[in-house]
Chains A and B, each alone.
Chain A
Amino acid sequence: MLVESIMNTEVITLPPTATIEEALRLLKENKIRHIPIVDKANQVIGIVSDRDVRDAMPSSFLKDADRQELQNEIQTIMTYPVVTVHPLDFVEEIARIFYEKEFACVPVVQNDELVGMVTEKHMLHTFIQLTGTHVQSSQIEVKVPHRPGILPEVAQIIGDHNVNIVSILIYPYGDDPEYKVLVFRVQTMNPMPIIRGIREAGFKLLWPNNIMEPKV
C-alpha cells in the first residue's frame, strides 16, 4: 500500500513568520496537533506540534503572565530539519518511522513541495482495514508449520467452500520459529464446514479451539 493512498491532502500550513498565537488558534479550531511550516515555494522548512506551542506559552498558573511570547514568530519554536516521506513510499516502511522516531505525523513531499500528511490516526485506520474487522466476518486461527506452500493449502479449503476471505494475517507462534499462526477473517456466518475441512486436513485450530470442546 502506498502513502499516497492513505495521506491527507488538505494540509493546514503556516509561513515561518506567522505568530505563535496564530498557530495556537489553528490547532484549536481544526482540532489538529501538527502544523508544517512552509516557505513561499511550499517547501517544508519546519514543523510545530501542539506541545511545542504549549511549551512556548506562559504557565496557566501565572495570572498576570506576559502574553507577549504569543507574538513571537513561529520559526523561533519550530522543529527542523523535518523527516518527510514520498507519496510512493510504502505504508509498511513509514510505519517504522513512526515507531522508531516516535513521531505522531510525517509530511509527504514530492518535488520538494508539500503534498500531504500522514498521521498516527491514518496508520491505525489502515491497520484496521488490514485486519478486516470492518467487514462482516468470522475469524479462524490456524497453527501451521512454517514452510513454503502452507498458506495456499489452508486458503484452498476456504475457497473450496465458496467463501470470500476478507483478510489474512500471519503471526509468529510465540517464540517458536518452526510455526506460524494464520488468522483468516472469512465472510460467512457459518464457518462450520470450513472448520471441519481444516480439521480433517490435519491442521491445528487455535480458534475455534478444541481445548474445552463445550459444544456437543
Chain B
Amino acid sequence: MSEQVKFIFSDDLLTYHFNPEHPFNQKRVLLTKELLDAVELIQAEDIIAPRKATEEELALFHSREYIDAVKRAGKDKLTKEQGMVFGLGTEDTPMFTDMHDASSYLVGGTLTAVDAVLSGEAIHALNLGGGLHHGFERQASGFCIYNDGAVAIKYIREKYNLKVLYVDTDAHHGDGVQWAFYDDPYVCTFSIHETGRYLFPGTGDVRERGIKAGHGYSFNLPIDAYTQDESFLQLYETAFKEIVDYFKPDVILTQNGADAHTFDPLTHLCTSMAVYEKIPLLAHELAHEYCSGKWIATGGGGYDIWRTVPRAWAQIWSVMKRGKVMNGDLPSSWLKKWEKESPVPLPTTWHDSKEAFPEIPRKLEIEEKNLKLLEAMLKYATLPKQNLQG
C-alpha cells in the first residue's frame, strides 16, 4: 500500500466564483495552498490537477435536464424563469459565466482524489475545492451547483463497489448527500451540524435515519446554537467511533466545512481551531483502523476565509502528510503577503487563544441538551448489525 498523499489543486478550482459580494469564495483554497507552501509542507509531486468531470459522471447523480440547464446558464442562455425551476439565478446560487465548467472541475477534483486513493496510488487525498453538499439531483441550492460528494459516492459504488462512510462536519446539514443515499445500505451518512431550527437548510434531525433498505444508515447530530469545543468534540468523537464500528466501511469520505468556528458569519456555533485540529486527526486514526487508511477529504462551507479556513484546511493536509497537526506561529511570509488584502487582522498562530471567545451564558444547558442528543443517536448505532457484503 502506497504511503503517498495527494493534494488536488490547479487554478481551475478557483473559477467557481459567483460574484465579489458572495460569501462563497474559493480564494480560501488558494490561501490554504499558499499557507502550506510557506511552511514547506507541500511539494510538487504531492499535487495532482483536478480533471473535469464528464457529463456521464455528473449524471450518476444529477438529472440530464439539470446539467443542460447549468450549461445554458453558463452561456447566458437560460432565462430567469427557466432558472428558478432548478434553483439557478437565486441570491444563493446566481448564474455566472461558464458555471458548468467551473462546477465540473470541483466534481472532477473529488473524482481525481477518489481515483488516487482507490487505485492504490495514494493512501489519502484532499480536494479542498469540493464538499458542495447541498446540491440536489435537479436543483442548485445553498451555494452548491453540482454535488461532488454525491457524484463521487455513486462513482465509488459503481466503479469500485465499496462501502462508503460519508462524514460531514460542516455547520450546515449535509442534506444533498443524505437524501441521495437515504435508501442505500452500502452508503452510511453522518452529519454533525447546527440545529436546523433556525439555520439553513432546516433538516438533519436525529430522527432522520434512512428509509427502506437504507434504514439505520443515516446519522445526524443537530447540535445547539452556541455549542463550544468540548461539547462538539465529545459528541463528534463518540459518535464517529460508534458509527465506524457499526458500519465497517471500506473507505471514508469526509466533508470538512469550516463554518462551525466562532468567527464564521453565517452560523451560530462557537468552536475554535481545536475542533479543526481534532477532526482530521480522528478521521486519520479511524481510516487506518477500519479502512487500511483509505480516506478522501473535501472542503465545504467556511465563510471566514481569512482567519479560519486556511488554518483549518491546512491542518487536514498536515495530518494526511505527517499524522499530526501544525503548532506555534504561522509563517511570516504568508502573513506578510496577505495581511494587506485581509479586511480583518490575521491570526499569528495555528491555535486560537482562549481570550478571543465569548462566554456563553447557557453553556451548561447546551452541553446537557447535546448529550441527550448523542444518547438518542447512539441508540441507532447499536442496533443488531446486518451482514452486508460490499
Contact with A along B66-92 (1 / 0, CB 8 A): 000000000000000000000000111
User: Nearest Cβ distance between residue B223 and chain A, in whole angstroms?
Assistant: 15
A19 at the interface (CB under 8 A from B): no
**Is the contact region of chain A dominated by helix, strand, or loop, or is it mixed?**
loop
B1 at the interface (CB under 8 A from A): no
A96 at the interface (CB under 8 A from B): no
Q: Which residues of A contact B266 (CB under 8 A)?
A: 189-190, 192
- Do A215 and B91 touch (CB < 8 A)? no
- Do B198 and A189 touch (CB < 8 A)? no
- Do A214 and B360 touch (CB < 8 A)? yes
Whether A162 contacts B91 in the complex (CB less than 8 A), given A136-B142, A136-B175, comes out as yes
- Do B200 and A188 touch (CB < 8 A)? yes
Q: Which residues of B contact A138 (CB under 8 A)?
A: 198-200, 202
Q: Which residues of A contact B143 (CB under 8 A)?
A: 189-190
Q: Which residues of B contact A189 (CB under 8 A)?
A: 92, 134, 141-143, 172, 200-201, 266
User: Nearest Cβ distance between residue B171 and chain A, in whole angstroms?
Assistant: 11
The docked-state distance in angstroms from the alpha carbon of A138 to that of B92 is 12
A139 at the interface (CB under 8 A from B): yes
A172 at the interface (CB under 8 A from B): no
Number of B positions contacting A (CB below 8 A): 31
The docked-state distance in angstroms from the alpha carbon of A135 to that of B268 is 20
Other-chain contact of B91, A137, A163, A185, A207 (Cβ < 8 Å)? A163
Contact with A along B252-272 (1 / 0, CB 8 A): 000000000011111010100
Q: Which residues of B contact A17 (CB under 8 A)?
A: none
Q: Which residues of B contact A162 (CB under 8 A)?
A: 90-91
Q: Which residues of B contact A215 (CB under 8 A)?
A: 262-265, 268
Q: Which residues of A contact B142 (CB under 8 A)?
A: 136, 189
A216 at the interface (CB under 8 A from B): yes
User: Nearest Cβ distance between residue B160 and chain A, in whole angstroms?
Assistant: 31
**Is the contact region of chain B dominated by helix, strand, or loop, or is it mixed?**
loop
Q: Which residues of B contact A135 (CB under 8 A)?
A: 202
Q: Closest chain A residue to B93 by CB distance?
A: A189
B384 at the interface (CB under 8 A from A): no
- Do B226 and A214 touch (CB < 8 A)? yes
- Do B361 and A139 touch (CB < 8 A)? no
A208 at the interface (CB under 8 A from B): yes
User: Nearest Cβ distance between residue A214 and chain B, in whole angstroms?
Assistant: 4
For chain A, residues 163 to 207, give those with C-beta under 8 angstroms from any C-beta of chain B.
163-164, 185, 187-193, 207
A133 at the interface (CB under 8 A from B): yes
Q: Which residues of B contact A188 (CB under 8 A)?
A: 90-92, 200
In this complex, the member of A162, A164, A215 whose beta carbon has the largest number of chain B beta carbons within 10 angstroms is A215
Q: Which residues of B contact A10 (CB under 8 A)?
A: none
Q: Which residues of A contact B172 (CB under 8 A)?
A: 189
Contact with A along B166-198 (1 / 0, CB 8 A): 000000100100000000000000000000111
User: Nearest Cβ distance between residue B206 and chain A, in whole angstroms?
Assistant: 15
Q: Closest chain B residue to A140 by CB distance?
A: B198
Q: Which residues of A contact B343 (CB under 8 A)?
A: none
Q: Which residues of B contact A191 (CB under 8 A)?
A: 200
Q: Closest chain B residue to A134 by CB distance?
A: B202
For chain B, residues 132 to 172, give those with C-beta under 8 angstroms from any C-beta of chain A.
134, 141-143, 172
A213 at the interface (CB under 8 A from B): yes
Q: Which residues of A contact B388 (CB under 8 A)?
A: none
In this complex, the member of A134, A136, A189, A190 whose beta carbon has the largest number of chain B beta carbons within 10 angstroms is A189
- Do A214 and B91 touch (CB < 8 A)? no
- Do A213 and B358 touch (CB < 8 A)? yes
A161 at the interface (CB under 8 A from B): yes
The docked-state distance in angstroms from the alpha carbon of A191 to that of B226 is 18
Q: Which residues of A contact B331 (CB under 8 A)?
A: none
B383 at the interface (CB under 8 A from A): no
User: Nearest Cβ distance between residue A206 and chain B, in whole angstroms?
Assistant: 10
B214 at the interface (CB under 8 A from A): no
The docked-state distance in angstroms from the alpha carbon of A191 to that of B358 is 22
Contact with A along B220-255 (1 / 0, CB 8 A): 000000100000000000000000000000000000
User: Nearest Cβ distance between residue B170 and chain A, in whole angstroms?
Assistant: 11
Other-chain contact of A133, B202, B268, B270 (Cβ < 8 Å)? B202
Q: Which residues of A contact B270 (CB under 8 A)?
A: 214
A41 at the interface (CB under 8 A from B): no
- Do B263 and A216 touch (CB < 8 A)? yes
Contact with B along A131-154 (1 / 0, CB 8 A): 001111111000000000000000
19 additional contacts, CB 8 Å, given A136-B141, A139-B198, A189-B141?
A: A134-B202, A137-B201, A138-B202, A164-B90, A187-B90, A188-B91, A189-B92, A189-B134, A189-B142, A190-B91, A190-B92, A192-B23, A208-B198, A212-B226, A213-B358, A214-B360, A215-B263, A215-B265, A215-B268
30 CB < 8 A contacts A-B: A133-B202, A136-B134, A136-B175, A136-B201, A136-B202, A137-B201, A139-B197, A161-B91, A162-B91, A163-B90, A164-B90, A185-B202, A187-B90, A188-B90, A189-B92, A189-B143, A189-B201, A189-B266, A190-B143, A190-B266, A191-B200, A193-B91, A212-B361, A213-B358, A214-B262, A214-B358, A215-B262, A215-B263, A215-B265, A215-B268
Residues of B that sit less than 8 Å from A by CB: 23, 90-92, 134, 141-143, 172, 175, 196-203, 226, 262-266, 268, 270, 356-358, 360-361
